[in-house]
Structure 1
């Protein structure tokens, strides 16, 4: 089954990759890159300058990597949440399907907000919404677990609905980061006249993955502190209160810390929609001064 599914997704990915290449084919030319052929040559040591002096890249890395660290850790902890707290490993698959609906709705709304209000504003908004939902769940979880007037499934379903809404907010905030990398690359051209989106993206991706790779360590540390570091945990088995607290801390508290770090970082990230207009206008003026033209003879912005 998995072999067939893998082959199907490989085929789909290949088709979409070809379509993406066809879509950017006409624009993937030097005259459209930053200042065109007049841009300074990029050297490896320029990477250090970007990391040291591009504050927006630094803040975006902090915001994205802390959220991703929490999200990856949560995915690992959810296995124990369903199997050893709700005692239903099969329910995790159903929950994953549930999350599709709010994720699609939030994505549709979020894309429209990002187009009209700017990427930073949308990222901050959905990060705030995700943080608020986490606070609600932290407060509501003890109340739901103490509810004896209704059957357990009602409390579980209500909690999972709250979790699905929170996940949809947090995932959208994480997805908004991707086009923000392009803004940072344009800002680097504005700052240093160097057009280096590949290097900016590589630096971002490297640091982001380096930090998010610590997620497994955090989950393992939580299990060790709860007394299950060297224990083979059986599925659908109720464990101790300390174990439950450790898993809930990973699922609720860690993402909240990540969101707080993101909101703090965004206070020092100044690429608002107005700032990006200034960046694009400045790049456009430099291209005009350097007589950078398209093959059709029209002066264009980078």
Structure 2
């Protein structure tokens, strides 16, 4: 169980790398800010077709090496090849073909990204069906994610930007690409090893009697699954808000312009690792005892409160007093609230995967059909869709305040427009999202007691055919 969640480390590595693609597309490839943002969104329109197809194909796959392992290998190859070609060759293509070339490579990447997301979620479902253990693998996934994002933020903000002088040097993107491919390759290899003993037909749903899903049954399966609908609402709105707040451009605006201390981003991420892990462990232990749903709701309330206070601090205080060499009220308050908010965010995010596994088992319970690929494809489609929408949203919002040809960077002068747009993108969208999430969870029935009932019934059916 400890090895498999490392696969998410590799998945996040590619996601972090592609978070820089707008800088590359606009500044290196010369596509312009709004065009680059819209292309990133537009290139994913085909996801509505490709994601369910990938999901159904993986649901029907049951070969010598199972479902998960071949899919992870193929996904890694697609993402590695597409990012390597994109960041090393796109700017060398003639102007007339550059946009088409960019779209084609981006499309290949999102096919690999979808396959990775769906396969990882299938693996999470078959790894364990114990309601008390599922929060544990969600917690392990988030611990590995913390380690990656902490290291990546330091690597990018301290080393790469210092070495190459910012995002205008193609060498920064190319070195980041090579590092990503190596790290992700190791992570996917470990995940494949970790799932090998479980990636077998007897662990799929109710066992060998699980009926495969058919294309015509997709809509009824989704329409009649209320827990899936509520999960989708919560997951999509949370994902969109977190992607916007975590956008590299928004981070530059918050730390580089409002706080005038971009290196503080790497510093806070490094400081946050230990408290993040401690809070996550506490949150996961709480969720193991009381259920994933309850843990998720408590974490969402904690996020809502801490980030509301953080916004008030920056609005009413003096943000540029926040420095590691000035440990006064502003610095201590900012670090405390930023660390608390970040920690409970990880708890909520870590419970998404166990909740998705619960939704998949609920579907098996109600239909006797094991469709983790299909249901995961819905989640993957949302994941990629919102990650593309966030870039378009950020691009349009920044164009609205005058950044039409270039994004703000660490050398952009501070202004009230920058401040309020930063507050909206960094905090406002998340606060709205958490309110909607809490409403959705009122109609999500899969608490711990309900999942125990569901797992007992699935096990009874499984035993009936063994």
Inter-partner Cα distance in structure 2 for 1:147 and 1:85: 7
Deviation at 1:227, TM superposition (A): 3.5
* Contact persistence 2:258–2:319 (CA under 8 A): no
SS in 2 for 1:37: coil
* Contact persistence 2:253–2:409 (CA under 8 A): no
Residue aligning to 1:121: 294
* Contact persistence 2:252–2:408 (CA under 8 A): no
* Contact persistence 1:65–1:212 (CA under 8 A): no
Residue 424 of structure 2 corresponds to residue 249 of structure 1: yes
1:109 pairs, out of 282, 292, 301, with: 282
| Mapping for residues 6-85 of structure 1, pairs under 5 Å | 10-11=181-182, 13-76=184-247, 77-85=250-258
- Give the TM-score normalised by the residue count of structure 1: 0.85
Residue aligning to 1:262: 437
Inter-partner Cα distance in structure 1 for 2:441 and 2:454: 18
Which stretch has the larger CA shift, 156-165 or 260-269? Answer: 156-165
* Contact persistence 2:259–2:320 (CA under 8 A): no
SS in 2 for 1:45: helix
Inter-partner Cα distance in structure 2 for 1:116 and 1:27: 25
C-alpha spacing 1:226/1:292, structure 2 compared with 1 (3 Å): same
The higher radius of gyration belongs to 1
Give the alignment's Cα RMSD to 1 decimal. Answer: 2.7
Inter-partner Cα distance in structure 2 for 1:138 and 1:42: 47
Deviation at 1:159, TM superposition (A): 1.6
Residue aligning to 1:282: 457
Runs of 5+ consecutive residues of structure 1 not aligned to the other structure: 294-302
C-alpha spacing 1:22/1:92, structure 2 compared with 1 (3 Å): closer
* Contact persistence 1:39–1:194 (CA under 8 A): yes
- Give the TM-score normalised by the residue count of structure 2: 0.57
Residue aligning to 1:196: 371
Inter-partner Cα distance in structure 1 for 2:382 and 2:201: 28
Residue aligning to 2:261: 88
Which stretch has the larger CA shift, 36-45 or 79-88? Answer: 36-45
SS in 2 for 1:133: helix
| Mapping for residues 181-220 of structure 1, pairs under 5 Å | 181-220=356-395
| Mapping for residues 160-199 of structure 1, pairs under 5 Å | 160-199=335-374
1:39-78: CA deviation from partner (whole Å, max 9, x where unpaired): 2232122322232221111111111121111111112212
Which stretch has the larger CA shift, 234-243 or 139-148? Answer: 139-148
* Contact persistence 1:187–1:279 (CA under 8 A): yes
C-alpha spacing 1:274/1:139, structure 2 compared with 1 (3 Å): same
Deviation at 1:153, TM superposition (A): 6.2
C-alpha spacing 1:147/1:228, structure 2 compared with 1 (3 Å): closer
Inter-partner Cα distance in structure 2 for 1:241 and 1:181: 41
Which stretch has the larger CA shift, 93-102 or 110-119? Answer: 93-102
Structure scoring higher RCO (CA < 8 A, sep ≥ 6) equals 1
Inter-partner Cα distance in structure 1 for 2:404 and 2:297: 37
SS in 1 for 2:215: coil
Inter-partner Cα distance in structure 2 for 1:201 and 1:152: 47
Inter-partner Cα distance in structure 2 for 1:28 and 1:119: 24
Inter-partner Cα distance in structure 2 for 1:23 and 1:222: 43
* Contact persistence 2:258–2:320 (CA under 8 A): no
Inter-partner Cα distance in structure 2 for 1:221 and 1:189: 42
C-alpha spacing 1:166/1:26, structure 2 compared with 1 (3 Å): same
